[in-house]
Structure 1
């Protein structure tokens, strides 16, 4: 084992990434505090039994963590020892006799944090008490502040918050020393912050019933103890418990409340659980009648009254709500709903006043305008000023509304309910954590800038495998100012490197960048493409994706990128020591490999069906490969459930239940022994004069291909030749039982002075012969900016040539977001001014057709009711065209947009002469985000993400 020194960051603006660094060093008594000495002797930890219960819990965690890391037993004491070289003192100001003694004696100044929310001091103090040489003092402003200070030390000594949930091994050490420090935390950025366990039916619920709470048969106090411990270590302070019908309601299970109190975790509930009551599993219509406030108000109010009488002694954040049973809408007309909700709010606040001995304004309450409740709210529903309005996203990561100027003045403030997991229409995504960190940050930054800092709740599904998303969300909630658009994408790689080693950090960053980018284009769960979620156990109706095999090598590129990151994950796994492999499997390996297998199954099956139409001999082989990929998803999921001797048995369910997913459909064809072959030219170009490859341009020097494929059961011999010296073929013939690809390129040094060249390639096989036309165009020396190729100009929006920013408008580059992996925010959502702010792009065309500008926008919502989602487009001096990306929620257009993370708009302009032009994109409604632009000059082909970036001169 090793000796480590713990260096506590002494700056006040703490980082969310690392508050204490562990470094090797030389021990000196004057500069270090010994936690465990070379002889294995541990400092004692002193705390007041009269302190808050969570403080004692955290003290026990620290003692246990010391034991984990060093095998040393840390004595927990409750009175000052007569003599000690070193002592850890932990307690809450005004609640701990020992902390108050230090304050009174002048040894500890607590004025900076006294009376504040969840702050702490960690300070080494010389001669704190008579007979004690040195102390490490952890003082908190309140119970959770103290507990967070203690768990900060736990993390520093090498115990990850994810030691249980992700099997991150402790860092074994023989000695522990903390460098002399005086550290003061600042208040958390968000007052109430935590997670919602949801859609637990296929993961956490069966796992808990099998492994943790067998007598409960599902999620119970043993499971929640692990959940609450994780929250405390991550500096979260609330949990919304699981609430599906399969789960016993939180307050009906003995031990749940007591466990929450033990860890100091506040309980909150989802948008459809008024006053801590779970009507999904608790409301029995045979006993209570119908859940309908129009006809059964007294019975509904009765059960809510009983729940607050039971739970009111606990620390809760109460949802003020009225919806249908579980996640269904209210019954009745809009006018009825308006009146009923207003009446329910009044009744529920009356119940709180009855049972809780506090002014109603001091009882934490939230109102979540989710789904139809937002419509009711926008009709003018009066929500009391002290209630926090929690704005939900649309279940797919796009926040539907935020506080306007008047709402931002409300005493109760506002917050956000955000998803990284969802069950419902138009498509669930319960399996993997694929929400882009850049998207999460962009939306939470918007919310933060508009005052949503009171309450952040993350729908985290089963927690696993959402660890990276949970960590990021809670780190942002703790210290939002430490995050920027520039560094947010580094967070997860930094987190993984802290576990598996800095040597892998660059590789982690690369893998995660591609992983999130590919999933942003299309989540794995959406790759079946044709079905819409309507009920549990519905059959999928898999059809071809929109990723094209014919155009832009789009589908092939996706397959290659997935294969690349899967291979990189394999290499890391092979190098890691055995003790780190389970954690790596859970945190990165399984998500990457499972995504790879699933995408490969869908795309290989699609390729098989496409080949079957062409009669390719490779068709049947692809069918077998698709089946193998399907089975690989099942195999790797089984490995997950068998990790750590079956510890996680049942926690992960691959797609197959919500809805049922069968093998991707494939086709088999009969091959004859009669010699037959075919060819396919890149882009599928065929004209009246024969087959043509896409045009070659010197500006980009891109290659194109010709597939030569066998259509019979016996090997086929083929040849290819060209009489043009400037046309290069990587292969010119061979024998194949399936297919071969000829890569065609241009040797521009042999093209002479002609600007436009034409040639052909002759492909022969048996008695068949094809002529494939080749066109090449030399560089136009007068062109500048983006240049047209094959009828399109494809632009990365962040690569503008000029910008004009007026007022408070700032064009913000966002890396790691969008189809180009780089998006442009058209002004901060906070500011409305900035008339005539725009970015400009120079481009050159050869075509004479009309121009259509295709803009790929994030499917954002207006920031509030007074705004829209407009932006402007202009070519040269033509009239500015105004576009918007705000279809009605739950419409088919909205569904398409959220599944592809893009609202694609087409704006047609009058024909422009060949030559130089300028494109302008104007900021109109603040905060819109554009992530790709294509100017279609008449050559844009069908695909999902569009052509790759055009060359820039």
Structure 2
């Protein structure tokens, strides 16, 4: 803790009791200069429920068992009175302050440092009007997923006790624990805690890290930023990681930069949806090549990490393995992440397509479960046998995906060949009977689709190997591969010959062009998708302007009004700082003249109070201005109903804000206005009739510049 400039500790409350597990604990912490405290639910330096279960009498309810609980707290105060502590307060504030005055023998209770943690329902008590004396520190909290629920208002910043923030990068609770692998972005932590700095919530910062692994890097950043926030800004966070990599592993600047990219990608991809919350339908298996691209990304970072790991000395490899390499590898080799993804792509989809590659992928999936378990063992035993240092791995049985197999030695359906067209969840000749036939597929191609091409997947419907050829009767239709062969790997087939098969695919080409001189994003396949950072124009108001937060969010980055400002200014719709995007459309939804603009916003809360709900305002060209207040109020310290659950805003790490506009085909400008200061916009998707279901949204459209 001291090495990373931390000096305040809340011991874990689940099964331990710092004050009684070892009689020297409190004295040793004080000797080292570590200020001790207890968590939000453990008043007066006593572990709850552990110590209460051991020594308490009666119910843990001050309303009916006040004397026994008071006596319990007296012991905690007596036991710690000679050491430096911060006493966690309960809602019985006056009783506790009198207790501390008596036990500590002080004439002025304001000289005793006390904290009141506004966590969950306790924040509700505060919002309902409950108050503590001015000298008690108010500790504001996040939603357990790294989104601060409330910052101090201007009127709350002159308290003598000041305020701080309790923040999570590890959590045990609903909708599901996340504690297995690092899944928090430094860029997100900076965004949230820089808002705390701007609002003077700096008296205490507490980071819930659960087990210290795998959060070493993130814990150090949190503490270093709290130590001197002036050293770090939105544009130099990568230098923190790069310097860390050079210090820890003696890497060259080039390799340290690559480690920075690896960690940025790993944390971004895990933060898109906590690994423990991934399921077989998270990423689209058919649209935008989403699942394939996600899996390819994981393979890429794993390969980059492997190269650096192999270049290190044997003395340096264990540290690199635990801090960098291990977080890359489980993500593609565990049943939760990549292997769940890979098995789903190959099992769920390919089973529907009746292709025998399914069985091969099932075997790979099974072996990857074993590889993942071996990684856990390796992390626990490398470098001298530090057993159990990685203990937060998931329960495999809980997360194993359902998989199916296609018989590899039996013909699935008549005919050897199956053809799958990109974006389709069926195969031709589909699930047809032997003689019924299937209609020829029709495919539309668009010159402004970002991928630039369309693929056909030729596969086996049984154990029979075959060769194929592909031909085109149109000069404008180019084939990247005209022939090939398909066979079961490592298998010799001795089967009867199959009759020739053929499949006709009809193409319709959209011959769309934009006028000469147009600059902006162009619709492809009924979609315009724009990363929020790629604006055409940016207009400041009263010194506030939209700026990019590099690295934050699910795909590229985000934009937010800056600077934060101590007075938390807001604007009426249309009067604040604006950011503009130029785009061109060929269609409207069902040719009605309407389009839907969906803004992907980071899952921030109404952190300046529910009377200041988060909002954005939008306008297309000179049309009517629309405003959307997208986070509803939540009373009693609760979260909005859309927040929780396995598919809520926190789990999905995004809030989608749709607005419907009237806009004919042609060139347009979309203008986004600031209303409240804490909004972070990541992406804008304009649906002219072709947006398909996906987790991350369509890839960014083609930009003519």
Instruction: Identify which of 657, 666, 672 aligns with 1:905.
Output: 657
| 1:352 and 2:100 are equivalent in the alignment | yes
Work out whether residues 432 and 465 of structure 1, in 8 Å CA contact, stay in contact via their aligned partners in 2: yes
* Partner Cα distance (1:574, 1:617) in 2: 36
* Partner Cα distance (1:432, 1:853) in 2: 35
Q: How does 1:485-564 map to 2 (within 5 A)?
A: 485-500=234-249, 501-503=251-253, 504-527=255-278, 529=279, 544-564=280-300
SS at match of 1:515: helix
Q: 1:690 to 1:489 in 2, by over 3 A?
A: farther
Partner of residue 19, structure 1: none
Q: How does 1:797-816 map to 2 (within 5 A)?
A: 797-816=532-551
SS at match of 1:798: coil
Q: 1:558 to 1:857 in 2, by over 3 A?
A: same
* Partner Cα distance (1:765, 1:569) in 2: 48
Instruction: Identify which of 238, 241, 244 aligns with 2:11.
Output: 241
Partner of residue 71, structure 1: none
Q: 1:693 to 1:365 in 2, by over 3 A?
A: farther
Q: What is the deviation of 1:252?
A: 4.6
Q: What is the deviation of 1:493?
A: 2.4
| 1:936 and 2:687 are equivalent in the alignment | yes
Partner of residue 603, structure 2: 859
Tell me, which stretches of 5 or more residues in structure 2 are unaligned?
A: 429-437, 490-497
* Partner Cα distance (1:690, 1:871) in 2: 46
Work out whether residues 448 and 523 of structure 2, in 8 Å CA contact, stay in contact via their aligned partners in 1: no
SS at match of 2:596: strand
Q: What is the deviation of 1:730?
A: 1.6
Q: What is the deviation of 1:925?
A: 1.4
Work out whether residues 549 and 555 of structure 1, in 8 Å CA contact, stay in contact via their aligned partners in 2: yes
* Partner Cα distance (1:270, 1:310) in 2: 17
Q: 1:930 to 1:725 in 2, by over 3 A?
A: same
Work out whether residues 720 and 733 of structure 1, in 8 Å CA contact, stay in contact via their aligned partners in 2: yes
Q: 1:765 to 1:513 in 2, by over 3 A?
A: farther
Partner of residue 666, structure 1: 403
Q: What is the deviation of 1:364?
A: 1.1
Work out whether residues 497 and 508 of structure 1, in 8 Å CA contact, stay in contact via their aligned partners in 2: no
Work out whether residues 795 and 933 of structure 1, in 8 Å CA contact, stay in contact via their aligned partners in 2: yes
Q: How does 1:207-222 map to 2 (within 5 A)?
A: none
SS at match of 1:769: coil
Q: What is the deviation of 1:929?
A: 0.4
Deviation digits for residues 260-283 of structure 1 (CA, Å, limit 9, x no counterpart):
022111001111011111121011
Partner of residue 179, structure 2: 430
Deviation digits for residues 670-715 of structure 1 (CA, Å, limit 9, x no counterpart):
3534533222211229999853445231685712211112111211
Work out whether residues 675 and 716 of structure 1, in 8 Å CA contact, stay in contact via their aligned partners in 2: no
SS at match of 1:734: strand
Instruction: Identify which of 498, 502, 505 aligns with 1:771.
Output: 505
Work out whether residues 448 and 701 of structure 2, in 8 Å CA contact, stay in contact via their aligned partners in 1: no
Higher mean displacement: 860-869 or 407-416: 860-869
Work out whether residues 787 and 845 of structure 1, in 8 Å CA contact, stay in contact via their aligned partners in 2: yes
* Partner Cα distance (2:367, 2:94) in 1: 59
Deviation digits for residues 561-604 of structure 1 (CA, Å, limit 9, x no counterpart):
00000011111111001111111011111111112223221112
* Partner Cα distance (1:670, 1:591) in 2: 35
Instruction: Identify which of 552, 557, 570 aligns with 1:822.
Output: 557
Work out whether residues 184 and 268 of structure 2, in 8 Å CA contact, stay in contact via their aligned partners in 1: no
Work out whether residues 613 and 631 of structure 2, in 8 Å CA contact, stay in contact via their aligned partners in 1: yes
Work out whether residues 617 and 737 of structure 1, in 8 Å CA contact, stay in contact via their aligned partners in 2: no
* Partner Cα distance (2:66, 2:451) in 1: 73
Deviation digits for residues 88-123 of structure 1 (CA, Å, limit 9, x no counterpart):
xxxxxxxxxxxxxxxxxxxxxxxxxxxxxxxxxxxx
Question: Runs (4+) of structure 1 moved beyond 4 Å?
Answer: 685-690, 698-701, 887-892
Work out whether residues 56 and 72 of structure 2, in 8 Å CA contact, stay in contact via their aligned partners in 1: no
Work out whether residues 17 and 46 of structure 2, in 8 Å CA contact, stay in contact via their aligned partners in 1: no
Q: 1:700 to 1:894 in 2, by over 3 A?
A: closer
Q: What is the deviation of 1:287?
A: 5.0
* Partner Cα distance (1:619, 1:872) in 2: 48
Q: What is the deviation of 1:553?
A: 0.3
Higher mean displacement: 773-782 or 846-855: 773-782
SS at match of 1:721: coil
| 1:265 and 2:34 are equivalent in the alignment | yes
| 1:295 and 2:46 are equivalent in the alignment | no
Deviation digits for residues 287-346 of structure 1 (CA, Å, limit 9, x no counterpart):
50110111101111110011101111110011112xxxxxxxxxxxxxxxxxxx3xx111
Work out whether residues 784 and 916 of structure 1, in 8 Å CA contact, stay in contact via their aligned partners in 2: no
| 1:868 and 2:587 are equivalent in the alignment | no
SS at match of 1:932: strand
* Partner Cα distance (2:247, 2:54) in 1: 52
* Partner Cα distance (2:272, 2:687) in 1: 21
Q: What is the deviation of 1:945?
A: 0.5
Work out whether residues 717 and 766 of structure 1, in 8 Å CA contact, stay in contact via their aligned partners in 2: no
SS at match of 2:322: helix
* Partner Cα distance (2:49, 2:642) in 1: 31
* Partner Cα distance (1:258, 1:637) in 2: 35
SS at match of 2:316: helix
| 1:278 and 2:28 are equivalent in the alignment | no
What is the root-mean-square deviation in Å for CA atoms of aligned residues? 2.2
| 1:883 and 2:632 are equivalent in the alignment | no
Q: What is the deviation of 1:808?
A: 3.9
* Partner Cα distance (1:696, 1:630) in 2: 41
Q: How does 1:613-652 map to 2 (within 5 A)?
A: 613-652=352-391
Work out whether residues 630 and 663 of structure 1, in 8 Å CA contact, stay in contact via their aligned partners in 2: no
Instruction: Name the larger-Rg structure.
Output: 1
Q: What is the deviation of 1:772?
A: 3.8
SS at match of 1:920: strand
Work out whether residues 605 and 622 of structure 1, in 8 Å CA contact, stay in contact via their aligned partners in 2: yes
Q: How does 1:87-106 map to 2 (within 5 A)?
A: none
| 1:837 and 2:577 are equivalent in the alignment | yes
Output the TM-score relative to the length of structure 2: 0.90
Q: What is the deviation of 1:646?
A: 1.5
| 1:573 and 2:324 are equivalent in the alignment | no
Structure with the larger RCO, 1 or 2 (CA within 8 Å, 6+ apart)? 2
Q: 1:885 to 1:630 in 2, by over 3 A?
A: farther
Work out whether residues 869 and 885 of structure 1, in 8 Å CA contact, stay in contact via their aligned partners in 2: yes
Q: 1:692 to 1:836 in 2, by over 3 A?
A: farther
SS at match of 2:699: coil
Deviation digits for residues 690-748 of structure 1 (CA, Å, limit 9, x no counterpart):
53445231685712211112111211332211022222212112220269xxxxxxxxx
Q: What is the deviation of 1:880?
A: 1.8
Work out whether residues 615 and 711 of structure 1, in 8 Å CA contact, stay in contact via their aligned partners in 2: yes
Q: Which has the higher strand share?
A: 1
Q: How does 1:33-52 map to 2 (within 5 A)?
A: none
Work out whether residues 679 and 709 of structure 1, in 8 Å CA contact, stay in contact via their aligned partners in 2: yes
The alignment of Structure 1 onto Structure 2 pairs a total of residues equal to 659
* Partner Cα distance (1:653, 1:240) in 2: 19
Q: How does 1:386-401 map to 2 (within 5 A)?
A: 386-401=135-150
Output the TM-score relative to the length of structure 1: 0.67
Partner of residue 168, structure 2: 419
Work out whether residues 421 and 429 of structure 1, in 8 Å CA contact, stay in contact via their aligned partners in 2: yes
Partner of residue 110, structure 2: 361
SS at match of 2:680: strand
* Partner Cα distance (2:582, 2:135) in 1: 52
Q: What is the deviation of 1:892?
A: 5.2
Partner of residue 89, structure 1: none
Partner of residue 713, structure 1: 463
Deviation digits for residues 638-672 of structure 1 (CA, Å, limit 9, x no counterpart):
10111123123353332117xx5253220012353
Higher mean displacement: 610-619 or 891-900: 891-900
* Partner Cα distance (1:520, 1:650) in 2: 23
| 1:595 and 2:331 are equivalent in the alignment | yes
